[in-house]
Amino acid sequence: MKESRKDKDGKATGINVRAASRTIDLFEAFATIRRPMTVSELARALKVPVSSCFSIIRTLEARGYLFNLPPGNSFYPTARLRDVAEDIRKADPVLSVVGSAVRQLCDESRETAMFGKLCRNKVILLAVEGTSGPARYMPQVGDLRPVHATAIGKALLGSLTEDEFEKFLSHVILEKVTRHTITDAAQLRKELTVSRRRGWYTNAEETISDMTSLCVPLTMRGEHYALAISGPTVRIKTNFKENLERLQATAEAISSN
Protein backbone atom coordinates (compact mmCIF):
# COMPACT_ATOMS: atom_id res chain seq x y z
CA MET A 1 0.00 0.00 0.00
CA LYS A 2 1.42 3.36 -1.00
CA GLU A 3 2.21 5.62 1.95
CA SER A 4 0.91 9.16 1.97
CA ARG A 5 3.41 11.99 2.19
CA LYS A 6 3.38 14.29 5.21
CA ASP A 7 3.71 18.07 5.34
CA LYS A 8 5.75 20.02 7.91
CA ASP A 9 2.96 19.72 10.50
CA GLY A 10 2.80 15.96 10.11
CA LYS A 11 -0.43 16.04 8.12
CA ALA A 12 -0.75 13.34 5.50
CA THR A 13 -1.10 14.38 1.89
CA GLY A 14 -1.73 12.48 -1.33
CA ILE A 15 -4.49 10.91 -3.38
CA ASN A 16 -5.91 8.68 -0.61
CA VAL A 17 -6.34 11.59 1.77
CA ARG A 18 -7.83 13.77 -1.00
CA ALA A 19 -10.47 11.11 -1.62
CA ALA A 20 -11.34 11.02 2.07
CA SER A 21 -11.55 14.81 2.19
CA ARG A 22 -13.80 14.91 -0.86
CA THR A 23 -16.12 12.33 0.68
CA ILE A 24 -16.54 14.52 3.76
CA ASP A 25 -17.01 17.57 1.52
CA LEU A 26 -19.77 15.72 -0.34
CA PHE A 27 -21.80 15.07 2.80
CA GLU A 28 -21.24 18.64 3.98
CA ALA A 29 -22.48 19.88 0.60
CA PHE A 30 -25.72 17.96 1.11
CA ALA A 31 -26.02 19.43 4.62
CA THR A 32 -25.63 22.93 3.19
CA ILE A 33 -27.76 22.64 0.04
CA ARG A 34 -30.37 20.28 1.54
CA ARG A 35 -31.76 18.76 -1.64
CA PRO A 36 -30.92 15.96 -4.09
CA MET A 37 -28.13 16.84 -6.52
CA THR A 38 -26.88 15.49 -9.82
CA VAL A 39 -23.29 14.41 -10.37
CA SER A 40 -22.57 17.68 -12.17
CA GLU A 41 -24.00 19.75 -9.32
CA LEU A 42 -22.00 17.82 -6.75
CA ALA A 43 -18.83 18.17 -8.83
CA ARG A 44 -19.33 21.94 -8.90
CA ALA A 45 -20.01 22.04 -5.17
CA LEU A 46 -16.86 20.03 -4.47
CA LYS A 47 -14.83 21.83 -7.16
CA VAL A 48 -13.61 18.53 -8.59
CA PRO A 49 -13.81 16.87 -12.03
CA VAL A 50 -17.08 15.09 -12.78
CA SER A 51 -15.21 11.79 -13.21
CA SER A 52 -13.71 12.01 -9.71
CA CYS A 53 -17.06 12.94 -8.20
CA PHE A 54 -18.79 10.10 -10.02
CA SER A 55 -16.32 7.57 -8.56
CA ILE A 56 -17.03 8.77 -5.02
CA ILE A 57 -20.78 8.69 -5.61
CA ARG A 58 -20.71 5.14 -6.99
CA THR A 59 -18.63 3.94 -4.04
CA LEU A 60 -20.99 5.53 -1.50
CA GLU A 61 -24.02 4.21 -3.38
CA ALA A 62 -22.58 0.69 -3.31
CA ARG A 63 -22.02 1.01 0.46
CA GLY A 64 -25.59 2.17 1.06
CA TYR A 65 -24.83 5.79 1.95
CA LEU A 66 -26.40 7.37 -1.17
CA PHE A 67 -29.43 6.51 -3.25
CA ASN A 68 -30.47 7.47 -6.77
CA LEU A 69 -33.53 9.58 -7.52
CA PRO A 70 -34.79 9.39 -11.10
CA PRO A 71 -35.58 11.24 -13.25
CA GLY A 72 -32.59 13.53 -13.60
CA ASN A 73 -30.18 11.01 -12.09
CA SER A 74 -29.84 12.92 -8.81
CA PHE A 75 -28.56 11.52 -5.51
CA TYR A 76 -29.23 12.00 -1.82
CA PRO A 77 -27.82 10.43 1.38
CA THR A 78 -29.68 7.59 3.07
CA ALA A 79 -30.21 7.54 6.83
CA ARG A 80 -27.31 5.12 7.16
CA LEU A 81 -24.85 7.93 7.87
CA ARG A 82 -27.08 9.17 10.69
CA ASP A 83 -27.32 5.69 12.19
CA VAL A 84 -23.56 5.15 12.05
CA ALA A 85 -22.93 8.59 13.53
CA GLU A 86 -25.42 7.93 16.33
CA ASP A 87 -23.74 4.63 17.21
CA ILE A 88 -20.40 6.44 17.36
CA ARG A 89 -21.84 9.25 19.47
CA LYS A 90 -23.34 6.85 22.00
CA ALA A 91 -19.91 5.30 22.58
CA ASP A 92 -18.01 8.63 22.72
CA PRO A 93 -15.70 8.23 25.76
CA VAL A 94 -15.50 11.99 26.35
CA LEU A 95 -19.05 13.08 25.56
CA SER A 96 -20.47 10.38 27.80
CA VAL A 97 -18.72 12.07 30.72
CA VAL A 98 -18.95 15.78 29.87
CA GLY A 99 -22.10 16.09 27.75
CA SER A 100 -24.61 16.64 30.54
CA ALA A 101 -22.19 18.87 32.48
CA VAL A 102 -21.67 21.16 29.49
CA ARG A 103 -25.44 21.35 28.92
CA GLN A 104 -26.01 22.27 32.57
CA LEU A 105 -23.29 24.93 32.42
CA CYS A 106 -24.97 26.45 29.37
CA ASP A 107 -28.38 26.42 31.07
CA GLU A 108 -27.09 28.00 34.28
CA SER A 109 -24.87 30.64 32.70
CA ARG A 110 -27.16 31.30 29.72
CA GLU A 111 -24.02 31.50 27.60
CA THR A 112 -22.50 29.18 25.02
CA ALA A 113 -20.53 26.44 26.80
CA MET A 114 -17.60 24.61 25.19
CA PHE A 115 -15.23 21.78 26.03
CA GLY A 116 -12.04 21.17 24.06
CA LYS A 117 -8.47 19.94 23.85
CA LEU A 118 -5.37 20.43 21.73
CA CYS A 119 -5.29 18.83 18.27
CA ARG A 120 -1.89 19.31 16.68
CA ASN A 121 -1.49 23.10 16.73
CA LYS A 122 -5.20 23.92 17.01
CA VAL A 123 -7.98 23.63 19.55
CA ILE A 124 -10.69 21.12 18.69
CA LEU A 125 -14.13 21.53 20.25
CA LEU A 126 -15.43 18.20 21.55
CA ALA A 127 -18.67 19.41 23.13
CA VAL A 128 -20.68 22.58 22.48
CA GLU A 129 -23.99 23.76 23.90
CA GLY A 130 -25.43 26.98 22.50
CA THR A 131 -27.81 29.36 24.19
CA SER A 132 -30.93 30.82 22.64
CA GLY A 133 -30.17 34.21 24.16
CA PRO A 134 -29.40 37.35 22.15
CA ALA A 135 -25.99 37.89 20.50
CA ARG A 136 -25.20 34.23 20.86
CA TYR A 137 -21.93 32.66 19.75
CA MET A 138 -22.52 29.41 17.90
CA PRO A 139 -19.42 27.31 17.24
CA GLN A 140 -19.82 23.70 16.16
CA VAL A 141 -18.49 20.44 17.54
CA GLY A 142 -15.32 19.60 15.63
CA ASP A 143 -14.43 23.22 14.91
CA LEU A 144 -10.69 23.86 14.91
CA ARG A 145 -9.74 27.17 16.54
CA PRO A 146 -6.46 29.10 16.84
CA VAL A 147 -4.77 28.23 20.11
CA HIS A 148 -3.30 31.65 20.88
CA ALA A 149 -6.55 33.55 20.25
CA THR A 150 -9.00 31.43 22.26
CA ALA A 151 -9.54 31.02 25.99
CA ILE A 152 -9.57 27.23 25.66
CA GLY A 153 -6.33 27.38 23.70
CA LYS A 154 -4.64 29.56 26.30
CA ALA A 155 -5.77 27.28 29.12
CA LEU A 156 -4.27 24.32 27.28
CA LEU A 157 -1.06 26.21 26.56
CA GLY A 158 -0.91 26.93 30.26
CA SER A 159 -0.70 23.19 30.93
CA LEU A 160 2.41 22.78 28.76
CA THR A 161 5.97 22.63 30.03
CA GLU A 162 8.34 25.37 28.92
CA ASP A 163 9.91 23.05 26.33
CA GLU A 164 6.48 22.06 25.00
CA PHE A 165 5.46 25.72 24.77
CA GLU A 166 8.64 26.60 22.86
CA LYS A 167 7.96 23.72 20.47
CA PHE A 168 4.45 25.04 19.93
CA LEU A 169 5.79 28.51 19.12
CA SER A 170 8.23 27.05 16.60
CA HIS A 171 5.37 25.47 14.63
CA VAL A 172 2.83 28.29 14.51
CA ILE A 173 2.45 31.89 13.49
CA LEU A 174 0.56 34.01 16.01
CA GLU A 175 -1.77 35.48 13.44
CA LYS A 176 -3.94 38.51 14.13
CA VAL A 177 -7.63 37.57 14.11
CA THR A 178 -8.98 40.83 15.54
CA ARG A 179 -7.24 44.00 16.69
CA HIS A 180 -7.14 42.54 20.21
CA THR A 181 -5.36 39.29 19.29
CA ILE A 182 -2.01 38.75 20.99
CA THR A 183 0.60 38.21 18.28
CA ASP A 184 3.76 38.70 20.34
CA ALA A 185 5.22 35.56 21.94
CA ALA A 186 6.58 37.42 24.97
CA GLN A 187 3.21 39.03 25.64
CA LEU A 188 1.45 35.68 25.29
CA ARG A 189 3.92 34.05 27.67
CA LYS A 190 3.35 36.82 30.21
CA GLU A 191 -0.44 36.43 30.04
CA LEU A 192 -0.17 32.66 30.44
CA THR A 193 1.97 33.11 33.56
CA VAL A 194 -0.61 35.43 35.14
CA SER A 195 -3.52 33.20 34.12
CA ARG A 196 -1.86 30.03 35.36
CA ARG A 197 -1.28 31.66 38.74
CA ARG A 198 -4.91 32.79 39.16
CA GLY A 199 -6.40 29.58 37.73
CA TRP A 200 -8.53 30.96 34.89
CA TYR A 201 -8.01 32.21 31.34
CA THR A 202 -9.81 34.63 29.05
CA ASN A 203 -10.18 35.61 25.42
CA ALA A 204 -11.15 39.27 25.41
CA GLU A 205 -12.48 39.93 21.89
CA GLU A 206 -9.41 38.24 20.38
CA THR A 207 -11.37 35.95 18.05
CA ILE A 208 -14.65 37.81 17.54
CA SER A 209 -15.24 41.49 18.23
CA ASP A 210 -17.50 42.19 21.23
CA MET A 211 -17.32 38.55 22.36
CA THR A 212 -15.41 37.35 25.42
CA SER A 213 -14.70 33.85 26.72
CA LEU A 214 -13.90 32.70 30.24
CA CYS A 215 -12.15 29.36 30.71
CA VAL A 216 -10.69 26.99 33.29
CA PRO A 217 -8.35 24.05 32.63
CA LEU A 218 -8.98 20.54 33.91
CA THR A 219 -7.52 17.07 33.81
CA MET A 220 -9.62 14.01 33.04
CA ARG A 221 -8.16 10.51 33.01
CA GLY A 222 -4.67 11.95 32.70
CA GLU A 223 -5.46 14.17 29.70
CA HIS A 224 -5.57 17.97 29.63
CA TYR A 225 -8.86 19.63 28.60
CA ALA A 226 -10.45 23.03 29.05
CA LEU A 227 -13.99 24.22 29.76
CA ALA A 228 -15.25 27.64 28.69
CA ILE A 229 -18.26 29.87 28.31
CA SER A 230 -18.52 32.58 25.69
CA GLY A 231 -20.85 35.51 25.19
CA PRO A 232 -21.10 39.27 24.68
CA THR A 233 -18.28 41.06 26.51
CA VAL A 234 -20.65 43.19 28.59
CA ARG A 235 -22.57 40.14 29.82
CA ILE A 236 -19.46 38.11 30.61
CA LYS A 237 -17.97 40.98 32.61
CA THR A 238 -21.23 41.67 34.46
CA ASN A 239 -21.68 38.04 35.51
CA PHE A 240 -17.98 37.25 35.92
CA LYS A 241 -17.98 36.03 39.54
CA GLU A 242 -21.00 33.76 39.19
CA ASN A 243 -19.81 32.31 35.90
CA LEU A 244 -16.29 31.65 37.16
CA GLU A 245 -17.75 29.77 40.13
CA ARG A 246 -19.96 27.74 37.77
CA LEU A 247 -16.98 26.93 35.55
CA GLN A 248 -14.82 25.86 38.47
CA ALA A 249 -17.56 23.69 39.98
CA THR A 250 -18.31 22.04 36.63
CA ALA A 251 -14.63 21.42 35.90
CA GLU A 252 -14.17 19.84 39.33
CA ALA A 253 -17.18 17.58 38.77
CA ILE A 254 -15.86 16.47 35.37
CA SER A 255 -12.36 15.84 36.73
CA SER A 256 -13.75 13.61 39.48
CA ASN A 257 -15.24 11.18 36.95
Instruction: Provide the residue ranges of all domains of the chain, joining segments of one domain with +.
Output: 5-84, 92-255
74 backbone dihedrals φ, ψ, rounded to 5°: -95, 165
Residue 16: per-residue pLDDT: 58
Query: Which residues partner with 97 through β-bridges?
Result: none
Overall average pLDDT of the 116-126 stretch: 93
Q: Which CATH number fits domain 92-255: 3.90.380.10, 3.40.50.1860, 3.90.920.10, 3.30.450.40?
A: 3.30.450.40
Which is higher by pLDDT, 14 or 152? 152
Contact 126, 98 (CB under 8 A): yes
**Per-residue model confidence as pLDDT tens digits over 155-195:** 999 999 999 999 999 999 999 999 999 999 999 999 999 99
167 backbone dihedrals φ, ψ, rounded to 5°: -65, -40
Which is higher by pLDDT, 77 or 72? 77
Q: Buried (b) or exposed (e) across 216-234, using 16+ Cβ within 10 A?
A: bbbebeeeebbbbbbbbbe
pLDDT at 71 over 80: no
CA dist 154 → 48, 54, 132, 147, 198 (Å): 38, 44, 27, 6, 13
At 136, the pLDDT band (50, 70, 90 cuts) reads: low
Domain 5-84 has CATH 1.10.540.10: no
pTM: 0.80
Packing angle of the helix pair 50-62, 15-33 (nearest 10 deg): 80
Residue 18: per-residue pLDDT: 82
Beta strand 112-119 pairing with 122-129: antiparallel
251 backbone dihedrals φ, ψ, rounded to 5°: -60, -40
Distance separating alpha carbons of residues 238 and 242, to the nearest angstrom:
9
Residue 137: per-residue pLDDT: 66
Packing angle of the helix pair 15-33, 39-46 (nearest 10 deg): 110
- Residue 200 falls in which region: left (phi positive, over 0), alpha (psi -120 to 50) or beta: beta
The SS3 of residue 200 is coil
